[in-house]
């Protein structure tokens, strides 16, 4: 099990690193084609996009991975049932998005975002199907399939951006194309993964199993709730911030531009090592779960320490580099130095964020998913309250930055203390 964990984690880390590099190339092509205004508008649509991705996945990838790893014999039925549930959810959500797009742009105070937000609905079914098949391969410890499919997906996007994007001279059409291109890239990912499916498993012969459906939902609903709460907060974040700052005398142009710089440049740079945390998080769940069931407390403590030290080290080194010379990274990747001041404020605290993701996975592994959900809820409440207070105190865009920092500190510390308390209790 230990060798499988190390091998799987290394594959996911290497794959994540390659995907991040390709993602950076995509960002460079995108930012240099749509400019600062385009990036700002794109970042305003991203919370909506992430919200619907969370809903369409509904924790299904986690439940598929867990059930398949535990039930090798019924893996075909698990895959089939998961696909049927996900496809049904995706079409319902696509319809909801189609009828709610006009109301979303009103909340965002920007009519330009109508078609970009509308285009999100096109890719939802493909994202859902892709996530389930990835969950299947993670469940049978074939991590390389996800890595290969992600690589193909990113290459397709790069080619689309190089060939098509420069020919579009309208910002709104460009953003709509960028979001809509996920349909093609996700489809390419699905096709790639189906080539690795065993011959006895075919997507043409999917069957629904009520008993398995109950097992899937029992796992997916709790794990989704925490993600959903975080994503719904992210969805309403620009809406709340925009309205608060407008009430307090700030222009819509100032809000859109600065929010875009923070989320599109500064935070994107700071989150580059997140592939490392995600690789650890995906690999650690079955390992810790098994150890917890067998009361191997000392082993779990050792692994938790190793994960925290490793995540902190990577986060510290990267954050230090970014902190020392943010202008170099911004200019190299985005051809701008805007956001350097925000990076210097956020970098020291983002070290905790690299630790936070694995800690959340550990909580789920030791049956404390509810504590993870609670920390998310408390963190969001604290963040929103601070945003309101600082907005009325005329802190401007820093009414967004300071609450974000407090949220990161609170959630990370809360999760760590809950894990420590649980491990010391038996």
Please state the three-class secondary structure of the chain as a single string. Answer: CHHHHHHHHHHHHHHHHHHHHHHHHHHHHHHHHHHHHHHHHHHHHHHHHHHHHHHHHCCHHHHHHHHHHHCCCCHHHHHHHHHHHHHHHHHHHHHHHHHHHHHHHHHCCCHHHHHHHHHHHHHHHHHHHHHHHHHHHHHCCCHHHHHHHHHHHHHHHHHHHHHCHHHCCCHHHHHHHHHHHHHHHHHHHHHHHHCCCCCCCCHHHCCCCHHHHHHHHHHHHHHHHHHHHHHHHHHHHHHHHHHHHHHCCCCHHHHHHHHHHHHHHHHHHHCCCHHHHHHHHHHHHHHHHHHHHCCCHHHHHHHHHHHHHHHHHHHHHHHHHHHHCHHHHHHHHHCCCCCHHHHHHHHHHHHHHHHHHHHHHHHHHCCCHHHHHHHHHHHHHHHHHHHHHHHHCCCCCHHHHHHHHHHHHHHHHHHHHHHHHHHHCC
370 CA to centre of own chain: 20
Residue-by-residue pLDDT tens, the chain, 426 positions: 555 666 767 777 788 788 878 888 888 888 888 887 788 788 788 878 888 888 887 678 777 877 777 665 577 788 888 888 888 989 999 999 999 888 888 877 778 888 888 888 888 999 999 988 888 887 777 878 888 998 999 999 999 999 998 888 888 899 999 988 888 999 999 999 988 887 766 655 666 666 677 777 776 676 677 777 777 777 778 788 888 888 888 888 888 888 888 888 888 888 877 777 777 777 776 677 667 767 778 888 888 888 888 888 888 998 999 999 898 988 887 778 888 999 999 999 999 988 988 898 788 777 777 788 888 889 989 999 999 999 899 898 899 999 999 999 999 999 999 988 888 765
CA pseudo-torsion sign 279, 282, 283, 288: positive
Buried residues in 311-339 as b, exposed as e (16+ CB within 10 A)? beebbeebbeebbeebeebbeebbebebb
The confidence score (pLDDT) of residue 241 equals 86
Q: How many CB atoms lie within 10 A of CB 9?
A: 19
20 CA to centre of own chain: 13
The confidence score (pLDDT) of residue 203 equals 55
Nearest of 193, 177, 183 to residue 90 by alpha carbon: 183
- Cβ neighbors of 84 (< 8 A, separation 6 or more) are 206, 208
The confidence score (pLDDT) of residue 29 equals 87
Sketch the domain layout of the chain as residue ranges.
Answer: 1-224, 248-426
Predicted TM-score of the model (pTM): 0.72
The confidence score (pLDDT) of residue 222 equals 66
């Amino acid at each position: 099990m230990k060798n499988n964990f190390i091998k799987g984690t290394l594959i996911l880390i290497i794959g994540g690193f390659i995907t991040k590099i390709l993602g950076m190339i995509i960002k460079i092509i995108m930012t240099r084609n749509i400019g600062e205004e385009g990036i700002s508008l794109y970042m305003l649509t991203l919370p909506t996009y992430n919200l619907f991705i969370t809903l369409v996945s509904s924790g299904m990838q986690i439940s598929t991975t867990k059930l398949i790893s535990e039930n090798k014999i019924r893996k075909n039925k698990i895959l089939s049932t998961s696909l049927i549930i996900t496809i049904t959810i995706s079409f319902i959500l696509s319809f909801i998005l189609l009828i709610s797009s006009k109301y979303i742009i009103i909340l965002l105070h920007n009519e330009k975002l109508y078609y970009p937000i509308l285009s999100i609905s096109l890719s939802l079914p493909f994202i859902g199907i892709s996530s389930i098949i990835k969950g299947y391969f993670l469940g049978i410890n074939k991590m390389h399939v996800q890595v290969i499919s992600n690589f193909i997906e990113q290459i397709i996007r790069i080619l689309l951006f190089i060939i098509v994007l420069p020919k579009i001279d309208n910002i709104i059409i460009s953003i709509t194309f960028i979001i809509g291109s996920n349909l093609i890239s996700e489809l390419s990912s699905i096709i790639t993964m189906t080539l690795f499916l065993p011959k006895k498993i075919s997507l043409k012969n999917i069957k629904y199993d009520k008993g398995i459906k109950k097992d899937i939902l029992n796992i997916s609903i709790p794990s989704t709730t925490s993600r959903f709460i975080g994503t719904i907060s992210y969805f309403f974040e620009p809406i709340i911030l925009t309205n608060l700052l407008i009430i307090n005398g700030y222009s819509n142009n100032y809000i859109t531009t600065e929010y875009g710089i923070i989320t599109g440049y500064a935070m994107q740079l700071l989150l580059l090592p997140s592939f490392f945390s995600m690789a650890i998080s995906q690999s650690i769940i079955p390992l810790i779960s098994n150890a917890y069931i067998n009361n191997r407390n000392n082993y779990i403590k050792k692994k938790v320490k190793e994960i925290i030290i490793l995540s902190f080290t990577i986060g510290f080194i990267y954050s230090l580099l970014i902190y020392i010379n943010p202008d170099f990274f911004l200019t190299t990747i985005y051809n701008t130095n805007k956001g350097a001041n925000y990076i210097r404020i956020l970098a020291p605290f983002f070290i905790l964020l690299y630790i936070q993701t694995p800690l959340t996975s550990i909580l789920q592994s030791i049956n404390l998913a509810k504590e993870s959900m609670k920390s998310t809820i408390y963190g969001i409440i604290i963040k929103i309250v601070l945003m309101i207070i600082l907005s009325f105190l005329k802190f401007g865009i820093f009414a967004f930055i300071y609450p974000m920092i407090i949220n990161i500190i609170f959630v990370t510390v809360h999760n760590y203390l809950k894990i420590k308390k649980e491990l010391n209790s038996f």
